[in-house]
Structure 1
Amino acid sequence: MTVRRVSLSDNTEGGRVSEHSGFEEFYAGTRHRLITYLYAMTGDRAEAQDAAQEAYVRAWQRWSTVSTYDNPEAWVRTVAHRLCLNHWRKARNRVAAYLRHGTDPDTGPPSENTVALISALRQLSVAERQAITLHHLMDLSVAEVAAQTGTPVNTIKTRLARGRRALAGFLDEDASEEYSHA
């Protein structure tokens, strides 16, 4: 397999000038200034790079229009700045929601029955465990489990029957051990 490396400077398409003509030069001439500006505004180099990348992607998509503006760099700078503002707004909203609702209440430790069930489920094959959990814990019908897993319905029925039988044995062993220690 041959991979052809395409450059943004390939500005001709069948002898005519591409709609992206000049973008590579624009990008090369403005990216450092834009990232420096965004870094100074955000104080976060990664955020500045992400916003700049998204702004240049948007400029690339609209290059036939953006390139006709008096100052395409100002357009890209404005888009990048707005992306940063949106990021800050989302962060502020997350903090406000956290302060409004607080953290989730602490949940207690799992019950002995839950620990026994999880332990028993881990002893099943992956296919049986998947069928059991989708059918019994997620309340999917046998047909829905079959559709979701891409497995024939009869195979799901077999896995459910074998899985239940194995679980009953694993859970009975745990129960008999509990009573023998009492």
Structure 2
Amino acid sequence: MTQSPATPLPPPKERRRLREAQSLTQAQVAARVGVTRETVRAWETGRMTPRGRKREAYARVLSELIQAPAAQEVPDEPEVTTPQPGADTAELPVHVQPHEPVPALRPEPVEADSSERLTPAQAFDALYAFCAPALVRQAYLLTGRRELARESVERAFERAWQRWPEVAVDRDPASWVRATAYEYALSPWHRFRPRYRHPEPPPANPSDRALMDVLLTLPPPYRRTLLLYDGVGLDLPDTAAETEASTPAAANRLLHAREAVAARLPELADPSELHQRLAEVASAERLRAAKPPTVRIGSERRASFWTRAAIAFTVALIGTTALTVRTAPRQYEAPISPGRTVQGVPPKIAPGPLSETEQELRAKLREETVSGPQRLVPLPG
């Protein structure tokens, strides 16, 4: 069976120009194709290339934008299939079921004045205001700990501020921060910290508590995949890329995670219902992130502390090296040769009366002290 050639597409910059020429947003184009806004943004930046049915649908939308003289109304969202339990992961479709954006788990848009160029601090504050509230709720679903969720987000943004020249030019800074926060939140070393040895109080709602118990029993990679796909709303390739797994592996993790949730909570077997419940559990908790200036100041203080620690360690190392050089011998000193056995000398014993042999040897030595050989008494020259 021959495979049909891929539908040709314009270059990434041309795709964006066509969309902006018709005054359409990325969310509107995503609704027409049946994907998320992040996916359309990745297509327009060249970070990803559409494939299969998504490619054909995207090509049709672009051809309509080329032929349309003015902005067009956006039709209703088409229904898109999702992976079903028992399906072959090698043949899974790479498109996803679009979820409705939920403020609890999706970043909130921030209005920015494009006429003025933002300073690094203003750009960081805008990214923080855009991602932090939803990211804290996502980290809470990953860990089940409110304090650890806030700490994970703060550490992620502190690291982003320390590496801001790199993060600012990244194609998707929000994904960079999200991946960093997830890695910190799922670190196994937190179990050895005294403040996290005991569990926090569970949610007050019994249904929320049951869902959190199921989530925390999942392995961390499965929990992270389920949250990104059914909670945040990423498509399967983006989920696989962020979890550093192949697309079939991510699909397999997603299916097993859904089966585990449906086995204990049958009412959440529907992915759309699970998506809504995840958002409700996250929004039920009062999780507030710190202010952006606080995070920036904390990042600068932490960087300053580690810089001073590195300088102190370097000075101590230099001082130790100088002391070693100062006290080390400057010339070769031959080692002391081992002793040799002298014939006729009895072995040393404890103090006590001398034996007859020792008395004879003492008398002989006393007699030869004056007139004996030169090795005993040196004669004046």
TM bracket, shorter-chain basis: 0.3 to 0.5
Query: Looking at both structures, which has the greater relative contact order when contacts are Cα pairs under 8 Å and sequence separation is at least 6?
Result: 2
How does the TM-score come out when normalised to structure 1? 0.38
Q: Which has the larger radius of gyration?
A: 2
How does the TM-score come out when normalised to structure 2? 0.19
